[in-house]
Amino acid sequence: MDVLGLFNYWIVIVLMMIGFYIVISHGNLVKKVVGLNVFQVSVFVFFISMSKVRGGTAPILEEGIEVYSNPLPHVLILTAIVVGVATTALALGLVVRIRDAYGTIEADEIIEPEEDGA
Amino acid sequence: MVAIGLTLVRLRDLFSVAMLFGIFSLLAAALYVVQDAVDVAFTEAAVGAGISTVLILATLALTTSEEKAPPGRALGALAVVLVTGAALIYGTLDMPAYGDPAAPIHQHVVPRYIERSAAEIGVPNIVTSVLASYRGYDTLGEVTVIFTAAAGVLALLGRRRGRVGIVDSLQVRQDARKDGEVPRSVLAPKPILRVVSKLLMPLILLFALYVQFHGDFGPGGGFQAGVIFGSAFILYALIFGAHNARQVIPAAVRRAGLGAGLLLYALVGVAGLLMGGRYLNYAVLADEPTHGQHLGIMLIEFGVGTTVAAAMIIIFFVFSGQDR
Q: State yes or no: pLDDT of A60 exceeds 70.
A: no
Sort out which chain A residues have CB atoms less than 8 A from B122's CB and list them: none
pLDDT at A94: 83
**How sure is the predictor about A1, in pLDDT bands with cuts at 50, 70 and 90?**
very low
Min Cα–Cα distance to chain B from A10, Å: 6
Which CA distances in Å does B219 have to B87, B135, B199, B212, B215?
Answer: 37, 18, 25, 10, 6
pLDDT tens digit string along B54-65?
A: 777 777 776 665
pLDDT at B140: 79
The residue of B35, B57, B154 whose CB has the most chain A CBs within 10 angstroms, and thus the best one to mutate to test that interface, is B35
**How sure is the predictor about B101, in pLDDT bands with cuts at 50, 70 and 90?**
low
Min Cα–Cα distance to chain B from A75, Å: 6
pLDDT tens digit string along B158-192?
A: 665 544 332 233 333 344 444 444 434 344 556 77
Q: Which of A103-107, B79-83, B213-217 has the highest mean pLDDT?
A: B79-83
A58 inside domain: no
pLDDT averaged over chain B? 69
| Portion of chain B with pLDDT greater than 90, in percent | 0
pLDDT tens digit string along B141-157?
A: 878 888 888 888 877 77
pLDDT at A45: 80
What are the residue ranges spanned by the domains of chain B?
1-107, 125-324
A70 inside domain: yes
A60 inside domain: no
ipTM of the complex: 0.71
CA of A20: which chain B residue's CA is closest?
A: B81
Rounded Cα distance between A5 and B277, Å, is: 45
pLDDT at B73: 61
Contact at CB, B55 and A44, closer than 8 angstroms: no
Min Cα–Cα distance to chain B from A22, Å: 6
pLDDT at B197: 73
Instruction: Give the pLDDT mean for B62-77.
Output: 64
A38 inside domain: yes
CA of B3: which chain A residue's CA is closest?
A: A15
A61 inside domain: no
B280-289's contacts with Cβ under 8 Å and 24+ in sequence apart are B280/B133, B280/B136, B280/B137, B280/B140, B282/B133, B289/B120
Rounded Cα distance between A103 and B74, Å, is: 25
Q: Total structural domains in chain A?
A: 1
Contact at CB, B81 and A96, closer than 8 angstroms: no
Domain enclosing residue A10, as ranges: 3-52+66-117
The CATH code of the domain that includes A113 is 1.10.287.3510
pLDDT tens digit string along B292-301?
A: 777 777 777 7
Q: What number of C-beta contacts closer than 8 Å exist between A and B?
A: 282
A97 inside domain: yes
Instruction: Give the pLDDT mean for A48-59.
Output: 71
Contact at CB, B32 and A48, closer than 8 angstroms: yes
